[in-house]
Amino acid sequence: MNTPGDKSVSHRALILGALANGTARISGLLESDDVLATADAVSRLGASAGRIGPGVWTVKGTGGRFEDAASSLDFGNSGTGARLMMGAVAGTGASARFIGDASLSARPMGRVTEPLVQMGAAIAAEADRLPVQLNASTLKGIDYRPPVASAQVKSAILLAALGATGETIVREDHATRDHTETMLKLFGADLTVESEGHGRIIRLTGPQTLTACDLDVPGDPSSAAFAAVAALILPGSDVILRAVMTNPSRTGLYEALARMGADITFLPAGQASGEDIADLRVRASQLSAIDLEPDIAPSMIDEYPVLAVACAFAKGTSRLRGLSELRAKESDRLAATQAMLAANGAEARIDGEDLMITGGEVPGGGNVITHGDHRIAMAALVLGLAAHGGVSVDDINMIATSYPAFIDDMTALGAMIEAIE
C-alpha cells in the first residue's frame, strides 16, 4: 500500500513555501481537509498556492511579507494549521482573524498565544479559544520553555521568530517531532539544535528570509498505523506499507508494538523532505500486553486510539500511562477511546490519566460515538475488522480531515467496510 503523505510535513511545506522567496514545488502533498484549509489560508495572505496534479502543488512565496487577511481564516478541524499559522502570521506583521469548527473552537489556544504575546504579538481572544484576532505588531526574540510538550507550540514560536528581532530560544523538556527544524534548514534558515537530557534547545536569530525549494512529502506514520494494527490483529495478514517516515519522534507506536511482539520489519527506502523513510512489512502476530511509560507520548500522541485496539486483542492487561494530553485533542480522546472499547465488549477503564485494557477476544456489535474525531472513527473501524460482531460508527465524514483515502486503502487490503444509509 502506498502510504498517504504526512499531514504534519504537508502543513509545514505549504507554510514555509508561503513565507519564502521564490516558488516551491511540493509532491505527495496530503490533500486532506486539514491541509487544504492551510493552503486556502496562505492564499488569502498573499501567497499563491495551486494544485497542478494529484498531490503536486506549487507555492509562490511572499518573502515573509504576508498581506492582511480580508476575511477570516477558517481552519476547520485543524489544530496544527491554526496554531502554526498564528506564529507565521505574527512573524510577518500581518493581521488576521482565526476561526474553526465547533471541535477546534473548543481546543486550547493559550499555549500558543501566550508565548506569541511575550514576543510582542497583539492578540485578542476570549477564554483561550477561537476565534482569535491577531493584529499587526513587531516581535522580539524570547527564551521560552513550553509547559507542555508540543511540537505545535514550538513550531509556532520558531515561525514567528523568523520575523522577530534578536535570538529566540525554545527549551523542550521532552523532545517533540522536529519536522519544523528539519524543513527550516531545507529552506535555508540558520538555526541550531542541541540535546539537553530528554529534550532539546533550539535557537534561531531573526529576522531571516527563507528561500523556496522543492519537496517530496514522506508517507504518514500516523495514517499507516491503522493498516499496521489491522494486519497485526487479523490472522494470516501480510502487508507492506510503502515510504513511511521513520523520524524517531514519530515512531513511538511501532516501538510499542514491537515490545508487544509485533512482527514489523523496516526496509530502508531513502529520504524525502530531509526525513528518513522505509517500507514496513507487517505480519499477523500474537501480541502481549504492555505497560507503557508516559515519556513515549510525544512520539505517538495521535496513535493511542489504534494502539488501544491492538491492546484489546493482546494477551494480558495493558496500562497506557500519562494520557492527560489526549483530553485536549479533537475530542476527549482518552474518554472516547475507553468508550469505544467498552461499547464493543472489551474490558477497558480509566485510572486517573492511565488507560487499562484487558485483552482477548472482542465481542463487537457496538455503535461508537466518535465525537467528530477522525482517529476515533478510524480506530473503531479497525477494531471492527477483528471483532466477532463487527463495529459501527456514527460518522465517517470527518475522516477526510486527515486521511481521505482511508476506506479505499483499507478495502484494497481486503477489509470489509460498508456505509449504512
Q: Choosing from 33, 74, 216, 302, which is the catalytic residue?
A: 302
Strand partners, 51: 57
Cell numbers standing for residue 225: 498505523
Give the three-class secondary structure for 318.
strand
Residue pointed to by grid coordinates 476515533: 376
Q: Is-catalytic flag, 216?
A: no
β 291-292/317-320 pair status = parallel
In 146-274, the DSSP E strands lie at 166-172, 191-196, 199-206, 215-216, 238-245, 263-272
Give the three-class secondary structure for 49.
strand
Judge residue 72's burial from the number of C-beta atoms within 10 Å of its C-beta, 0-12 exposed, 13-18 middle, 19 or more buried: middle
Strand partners, 74: 99
Cell numbers standing for residue 125: 481572544
- Residue 6 C-beta-side C-alpha neighbours within 13 Å: 28
Instruction: Give the integer Cα–Cα distance in Å for 183 and 257.
Output: 29
Q: Which helix (H) or strand (E) holds 125?
A: strand 122-126
Nearest to 283 by CA among 233, 226, 223: 233
In 127-196, the DSSP E strands lie at 129-135, 143-144, 166-172, 191-196
Cell numbers standing for residue 232: 497485526
- Write out the catalytic residue numbers: 302
